[in-house]
Amino acid sequence: MTSSKMIALNFTNFNSFLESKTVLVDFWAEWCHPCKPQHRMLEELSIQYDYLLNFASVNVDDNKVIAATHGVRNLPTLILFVNGKEVRRFIGLQNKEQLIIQLEKQLANDKINND
């Protein structure tokens, strides 16, 4: 199996990475049990959606300022960014099929806006 395309973000690279195409950021912590299966699912999606959108993760214990700045209070939290701006937030463990539907909607919207 191909390795994950997820990028670990921190204070140094967070803002510059969000300037790229559509980015789904996974806010997680090692102690968060639902974060583990969600992270594995996102690693799979990062391969499936390579070249369409970027996937990244932020360990909230190591990056408290980023989590606080974005109002992350519950884990896991996923935030979908377009051009550095939040467009959608998912709180709690997500269903893979439902998440794919939402990502596909955003990608279709991005295509319309870029054409």
Residue among 9, 23, 25, 35 flagged as catalytic: 35
- Judge whether 32 counts as a catalytic residue: yes
Residue 103 CA to residue 17 CA, distance in Å, equals 18
Return phi, psi of residue 33, to 5°: -65, -45
Please identify which residue in the block is written with the tokens 């996102």.
42
Cα separations in angstroms, 72 against 29, 30, 40, 51, 94: 12, 15, 20, 27, 16
Please identify which residue in the block is written with the tokens 């990244």.
56
Amino acid identity, residue 42? L
Residue among 18, 32, 45, 103 flagged as catalytic: 32
Could you list the active site residues?
Answer: 32, 35
